[in-house]
Chains A and B, each alone.
Chain A
């Protein structure tokens, strides 16, 4: 019995996802249809990849809300480069740009030890500004044949980008659990002073997580383009609002040092099923935003309450 209890507790997020999925399939006639399912899997990939990158940041006890703007900026650059340099060079340059964006945010956090939320708030604004500036505040659209081809590869209702998301999550899981670097991140997140006393290069590790996050945001932006074929400076404005709950629900705590890529994988799937279910009940868009905000609020307060409940002030 205790073993059953342990299994249920350990796998509560995927179980909950499965329950909601089954309940939705039974109660709503439009849910379990190929069109909706493929839409569900498509919507998972882009934000899911970014969520995996965000897991690295949270594991170190840091936060970065600039991921939406990095997605917008790299997607804009990618779409602008696509007609002239071709698919692969454009992709590589966009990924490099993502790393640079992450490195800028990480530089201020790691070197000056400034509060990451304020730094990422300013860089978010700046990246969005650059994206609007280079695109002249107009959307960049391009139905490039490679993008079209990628969007058409599917396995049943599951698009190829979903497997890319799985691959990213598995690589991240391998890095976090099997490599020296990944284990160090848990130490830095668990107690930054201990990590310093152990002789870890704390600043280097802090810097690296923001670069990982920037890379994942760029990859997410490109994946988003295989579905939207159009980028603008205001792309993924709701990125932080959607991505933060996915990671936290998965079990990676704000305090750092706890969680992992597989947790995030389940969190992403669960939250996307919930978002999809909200659309199924034809909730008005503004109301959906409100519900998402409330979900985020409850998650934050619950997580922080559990962390600090023994303190008096």
Chain B
């Protein structure tokens, strides 16, 4: 794309266009610093970390489905389902480990179901949207049936609570889990042969197929990771609140989608990574934070978030031209 004798200004322009998301994040951080003098205090930053963790973990999963050329709307329902299963089984069996295992199992199963259906239909993002819309409805119905529509309160094992509330050197454990997951996923998708095949299958599935990549298996893996991440997010969330509601995942898929796309992960697949996830999740967390601080009505935030997502996909489209 770049020409040999392009001027300095066009290069700056190009850099700005490629890094709009990063610039937006910096602008938001500056705005936050002006809005509140405590913004850069350790407590506030750690609060921010704590707040974005659940969405951050969800966004990792969502980004994986974007990278393989899919789109997962069901992760919100998976979050609800895993949350009620985690707390419900912890309560009935008395063992937090059992609850977590059940949650992770359910998350993997839900993700694998999406992946298998994607394999059967050989679908792209449009098919993925419809399939996960339907599996999401089934997942919500399962969550509601399991707990009869009521909130479940757990027995609160100490180490289980620590996942959501504890700190290591005043750094939240949940945030550490998020960062570890980010690093693992980044290494897998950027540094391994498997990860590269995954990105290629998302970018151009026909040519990926022709060079011998099992595109359908890549889809299965991408969606299964999304289900797994939703289960981890459910564990972190229930550990923090020590309760689970069948409605807790409502809108969580949408939040994860906004964070992933605003961060700069391309809708067409194959382009993006965990750096974009961090940027997007931070932007989203800061915007929500600023909207809350300035007292914007929660209903108005709906409209605002919708507008942001629309703007982000317009930008994505313009960049691809």
In the complex, the answer to whether B303 meets A300 with C-beta atoms within 8 Å is no
In the complex, the answer to whether A112 meets B314 with C-beta atoms within 8 Å is yes
Alpha-carbon separation in the docked complex, A126 to B254 (Å): 12
In the complex, the answer to whether B306 meets A129 with C-beta atoms within 8 Å is yes
Q: Which residue of B is nearest A254, CB measured?
A: B130
- Interface on chain A toward B: helix, strand, loop, or mixed SS? helix
Tell yes or no: A63 within 8 A of B by CB.
yes
Closest CB-CB distance, A60 to chain B, in whole Å?
13
In the complex, the answer to whether B302 meets A289 with C-beta atoms within 8 Å is no
Q: Which residue of A is nearest B253, CB measured?
A: A121
Q: Mark B112-139, 1 if CB is under 8 A from A, else 0.
A: 0000010011110111011101111110
Tell yes or no: A284 within 8 A of B by CB.
yes
**Chain B residues within 8 Å of A63, by CB:** 126, 129-130
Q: Residues of A within 8 Å of B, CB-based: how many?
A: 45
In the complex, the answer to whether B141 meets A293 with C-beta atoms within 8 Å is yes
Q: Residues of B within 8 Å of A, CB-based: how many?
A: 48
Tell yes or no: A133 within 8 A of B by CB.
yes
Instruction: Give the A-B contact count at a CB cut-off of 8 A.
Output: 131
Closest CB-CB distance, A94 to chain B, in whole Å?
20
In the complex, the answer to whether B135 meets A114 with C-beta atoms within 8 Å is no
Tell yes or no: B237 within 8 A of A by CB.
no
**Chain B residues within 8 Å of A126, by CB:** 302-303, 306-307
Tell yes or no: A155 within 8 A of B by CB.
no
Q: Which residue of A is nearest B138, CB measured?
A: A293
**Chain B residues within 8 Å of A113, by CB:** 317
In the complex, the answer to whether A128 meets B302 with C-beta atoms within 8 Å is yes
Q: Mark B88-125, 1 if CB is under 8 A from A, else 0.
A: 00000000000000000000000000000100111101
- Interface on chain B toward A: helix, strand, loop, or mixed SS? helix
In the complex, the answer to whether B127 meets A304 with C-beta atoms within 8 Å is yes
Tell yes or no: A313 within 8 A of B by CB.
yes
In the complex, the answer to whether A129 meets B121 with C-beta atoms within 8 Å is no
In the complex, the answer to whether A125 meets B306 with C-beta atoms within 8 Å is yes
Q: Which of B120, B140, B299 has the most CB of A within 10 A?
A: B299
Q: From known contacts A286-B144, A308-B121, A311-B122, infer whether A114 and B130 are also in contact, taking CB-CB under 8 Å.
A: no
Stretch at the interface among B174-182, B184-192, B204-212, B227-235: B204-212
Closest CB-CB distance, B187 to chain A, in whole Å?
26
Tell yes or no: B29 within 8 A of A by CB.
no
Query: In chain A between 131 and 169, which residues have their CB closer than 8 angstroms to a CB of chain B?
Result: 132-133, 137
Q: From known contacts A118-B309, A125-B305, A286-B144, infer whether A292 and B299 are also in contact, taking CB-CB under 8 Å.
A: no
Query: In chain B between 301 and 319, which residues have their CB closer than 8 angstroms to a CB of chain A?
Result: 301-303, 305-307, 309-310, 313-314, 317
**Chain B residues within 8 Å of A287, by CB:** 141, 145
Tell yes or no: B6 within 8 A of A by CB.
no
Tell yes or no: B75 within 8 A of A by CB.
no
Tell yes or no: A267 within 8 A of B by CB.
no
Alpha-carbon separation in the docked complex, A286 to B206 (Å): 41
Known pairs A123-B310, A304-B131 / 11 extra A-B pairs, C-beta < 8 Å: A118-B129, A128-B302, A129-B299, A129-B300, A129-B301, A133-B299, A133-B300, A254-B126, A301-B120, A313-B201, A313-B215
